[in-house]
Structure 1
Amino acid sequence: MSEIAQPQPVTPELRQWIIEQAKAGVQPESVLQSMVASGWREDVAIAALEDTLRGFLDERAKVAQLPAAVRVPDPLPAVAGIPTTLQAGDREVRVVLAMRDPRVIVFGGLLSHEECDELMAVAGKRLARSETVQTDTGASEVNDARTSQGMFFDRGENELCRRIEARIAALLKWPVENGEGLQVLHYRPGAEYKPHYDYFDPAQSGTPTILKRGGQRVATVVMYLNDPVIGGGTTFPDVQLEVAPVKGNAVFFSYERAHPVSRTLHGGAPVVEGEKWVATKWLREGVFR
């Protein structure tokens, strides 16, 4: 007869110890390893870590008067090991890189080369100078920081869009309805998108109007549709990271607070040689209409 596992109570002393480790800069993975080595069951240790650190970070955010944190998509376990592949509905994708703070994941093979070529062909007929959202009014405008050409598909506009949207939803465990339509951008040599944030600035007067369509943006997926010869990477200046634009691959990043503390400042580096095509998917808190 198998033994019944005895409960392991999470005491105030344990929570205080976890907080002290966080203040000292110890990574959650190391804290988890120490707890397991000391006799804690892994499931209990993970739950204690997640709950304690969430409360600790929320309290610090209140003191700093930061925007409230919202739920964001995340296909990877909170503190357990990183899988090498993930199932994305009709396709298996590789996990090429994973960063926790900020949450950045590079997926290998999210799109097939045939899907990339088809997206470029269909979108190429509808390109125009790219615009950005004017957050003080909610309207769109041409911005010198963005020197690409682009277009938007409506969500579910065609079979290809529906297939890609369903794949992203399955991979990230986030409803299809909470996503904006795909945007395709084309960068020629010298074109770039200077570093910026994808969330809508709560301090801008036009943001409440924008948020009526589905709430705040919470995550971004940038899919690379071709291989530029030189340049065109996706940069994250706050963490000194640059993701190479490899055809079929994608970079995902999330931002639970609409604030620079998210460290999701990012940009499209100038294309030095060749050209760059990308498809971007923005995810919202709620149903996007």
Structure 2
Amino acid sequence: MGKTASTKLWVRFALTTTLQPSSQSGSRGSSSLLIIGVFGSEDCQSIIDEAETRAGWRIAGAEARDSRVLTLNLRDSFFSSVADRIERKSIPAATQHWGLKGLRLEELSVVRYNRDAEVPLHTDTGPYKRHRVASIVCYLTDGFIGGDLVVPRLHFKGIAKLGEAILFPSAELHSATRLTSGDKTVLVGFLWEKTAAWI
């Protein structure tokens, strides 16, 4: 990848709200959402181009209108560098903002959404995913219409700019609105820690 994005950590947007305990998400106390810069535009296109050459794409599901998902092999030298960049940007931000320590990136996938795709309300935690503390959605394309990330309890509906990532607690219910036009391609990943305030 080129050096089109600065290695300096920056947070463009931070939303913090005090929440009441919820039996649905398990969140309590203070919960928040961050938008951070990760990649430059050339990096984003390189990631898309490289992903398209790889085998292993699968169908995301009926609600997503058969959009495609590729779980990245993080031992691959190219995608290892992608994961390293995300870790270098997201882990310090999560540590500083939420006070989380000992974080690491658990998984990373490229998701390409088809027109009319939408994602129903869900969380990124569950019986076998309780160690997840933060979800990452990094935008590799822009110029599409629809496809907003919606996090109801944080009163958030929107997208990030090209190359930016949205971080939010994995236990928060969230969805994505219907993609009405354009190409929406994102990286989706998860940070995990053994213990966290909102689990």
Please, what TM-score do these two structures have when normalized by structure 2? 0.72
Query: SS of the counterpart of 1:145?
Result: coil
Secondary structure of the residue aligned to 1:195 is: strand
Task: Tell whether the 8 Å contact from 2:146 to 2:179 is kept in structure 1 after alignment.
Answer: yes
Higher normalized strand content (fraction of residues) = 2
Aligned to 2:7: 90
Q: Hey, what does 1:149 align to over in structure 2?
A: 68
2:107 aligned to which of 181, 204, 227: 181
Amino acid at match of 1:189: R
Whether contact under 8 Å (2:36, 2:89) holds in the other structure is: no
Equivalent position amino acid for 1:117 in 2:
Q
Q: Retained in 1: the 8 A contact 2:44–2:141?
A: yes
- Specify the code of the residue in structure 1 equivalent to 2:35: F
Aligned residue in 2 for 1:171: 93
Cα deviations by residue, 1:95-144 (Å, 9 ceiling, x for unpaired):
324123463333242222122112111222343212xxxxxxxxxxxx43
Letter in 2 for 1:122: E
Q: TM-score, normalised by structure 1?
A: 0.51
Answer 1 or 2: higher relative contact order, Cα 8 Å, separation at least 6.
2
Query: How big is the shift at 1:156?
Result: 5.0
Larger radius of gyration: 1
Residue 192 and residue 93 in structure 1: after superposition, are their counterparts in 2 closer, same or farther (change >3 A)? same
Note the 1:59-138 alignment, pairs <5 A.
90-101=7-18, 103-126=31-54, 127-130=57-60
Where does the alignment leave 5 or more consecutive residues of structure 2 unmatched?
1-5, 20-30, 96-100, 195-199
Q: Which amino acid aligns with 1:246?
A: K
Is 1:162 paired with 2:84? yes
Moved over 4 A (4+): none
Residue-by-residue CA offset, 1:46-103 (whole Å, 9 max, x unaligned):
xxxxxxxxxxxxxxxxxxxxxxxxxxxxxxxxxxxxxxxxxxx932323324123463
How much identity, in percent, do the aligned residues show? 23
Runs of at least 5 residues in structure 1 that lack an aligned partner in the other structure: 1-88, 131-142, 201-206, 259-263
SS at match of 2:10: strand
Partner residue, 2:169: 254
Is the helix fraction higher in 1 or 2? 1
Q: Say which SS state the counterpart of residue 92 (structure 1) adopts.
A: coil
